[in-house]
Amino acid sequence: MRLLGLQLIRYVTNAFIAHVPSHALRRVWYTRVVGIRIGDQTALMMGLHIQTRGRPQSGRPGIEIGNHTVVNANCHLDGRGGLLVGNNVSISQGVWILTDEHDVNDPDFPEIFAPVRIEDYVFIGSKAMVLPGVTIGRGAVVGAGAVVTKDVPALAIVGGVPASSIGWRQDHLAYELNFRPALE
């Protein structure tokens, strides 16, 4: 029965709630029903697709998003292995963040959960993908369309498939994201 309830909540969350043009309503659902921790002044745009294994509890992490962070439209957040997003993080449209994969060499094809950590002031470009077990360091930039397969150092700029270093960001990061669209 618990599995059916979880599947129903996931369906309602992704098929209906994600498309309601009221940020306040979506936020209440995401925090009270799904169990996501969402910081102050954080904006989660419409079309967000969320995967969890139920409300977070000991031994079963979930999704935690810091203050002044923006998750743009049509992103995919997988919290089954644990997802921590810091403060003042900008996640562009269509980004996928995954915390679950399969062991393709095991005959039973088991799931492998690995947490993703995105530190403060990170910018992730449109349609990038972050794979399980990755940490993206403070102030790093992930270019549009990049596939991040390993940790990204603080202030690094990475791009490509797989993502590799293409430069470095200045360490004068003190901005505060306060994005709040009228109908989102």
With H, G, I as helix, E, B as strand and everything else as coil, classify residue 17.
Answer: helix
Q: What is the rounded distance in angstroms from the CA atom of residue 132 to the CA atom of residue 162? A: 14
Task: Tell how far CA 115 is from the center of its chain.
Answer: 11
30 secondary structure, DSSP code: I
- Of residues 19, 23, 76, 102, which has the active-site annotation? 102
Q: How many CB atoms lie within 10 A of CB 64?
A: 18
Cα–Cα dist 158/164, whole Å: 5
What's the CA gap between 113 and 133, in Å, rounded?
8
| 18: DSSP letter | G
- Does the active-site annotation cover 172? no
> What are the residue numbers of the active site?
102
